[in-house]
Amino acid sequence: MKTFLAGLGFIVLFSCGTLCAADLKKTEATPAHTLDQFKLGTYITGPEVTLADAKGKAVVIEAWGVHCGPCLASLPHIEQIAKRNKGKMLVFGAHSQNASNDEVKKVVKKNNLTYTITDQVSGPVNFSGIPHAFVFDITGTLIFNGHPADKEFESAVRKATRGASEEKLSGLDALKALQAK
């Protein structure tokens, strides 16, 4: 009986220590990551904009690949976000698999993507699976890091674009925008 109680006591103490350590990990301050800590690779296609053009705008970077089924399935969703938030948000697709630029351009054309596509993304956040999205608010602070199908992704996009400055359109661009509606 004493052995049983001693064993039970050890299990309770060990469990409490593990749970307390887990709680400490949750409450530790995590460093805020910012857009200027991220780098995009070589431009492939789409509008020739860079992260430096993001002042006053929200940003989405999605790491994806031409040989990744879930990535290909997410492309129309990312395109919708790019169109819906045009002028308030820059969207970048960072191709993150081995493929030629021609292969990437074929997928972009097939999916009618209108946002900027680059080769790779790097930064302080490690990720191994794709698709993987990063959402930055207008201050350049990372507010979402994860799969673009996560329910928090859409919420982060809405939050990121609050207060974003609208792009000033030239007369011809404004006319095109009206015709597109």
Percentages helix, strand, coil for the chain (3-state, rounded to 5) are 45, 20, 35
Which pTM does this prediction carry? 0.75
The CB-based long-range contact list for 140-145 (8 Å cut-off, 24+ gap) reads: 140/34, 140/35, 140/36, 140/54, 140/59, 141/32, 141/33, 141/34, 141/35, 142/32, 142/33, 142/34, 142/35, 145/33
Predicted local distance difference test score (pLDDT) of residue 97: 94
Predicted local distance difference test score (pLDDT) of residue 27: 32
Distance CA 64, CA 123 (A): 15
Predicted local distance difference test score (pLDDT) of residue 174: 40
Q: Is 137 exposed, middle or buried (0-12, 13-18, 19+ CB in 10 A)?
A: buried
Q: What are phi and psi of 137, to 5 degrees?
A: -80, -175
Task: Please work out, in degrees rounded to the nearest 5, the angle formed at the alpha carbon of residue 132 by the alpha carbons of 130 and 136.
Answer: 165
Predicted local distance difference test score (pLDDT) of residue 113: 98
Q: Is 136 exposed, middle or buried (0-12, 13-18, 19+ CB in 10 A)?
A: buried
Predicted local distance difference test score (pLDDT) of residue 2: 53
DSSP letter string, 42-101: -EEESS---GGGGTTSEEEEEEE-TT-HHHHHHHHHHHHHHHHTBTTEEEEEEE-SS--H
Predicted local distance difference test score (pLDDT) of residue 20: 35
Within the chain, which residues score under 50 in pLDDT? 4-29, 168-181
For the beta carbon of residue 103, count every other beta carbon within 10 angstroms: 15
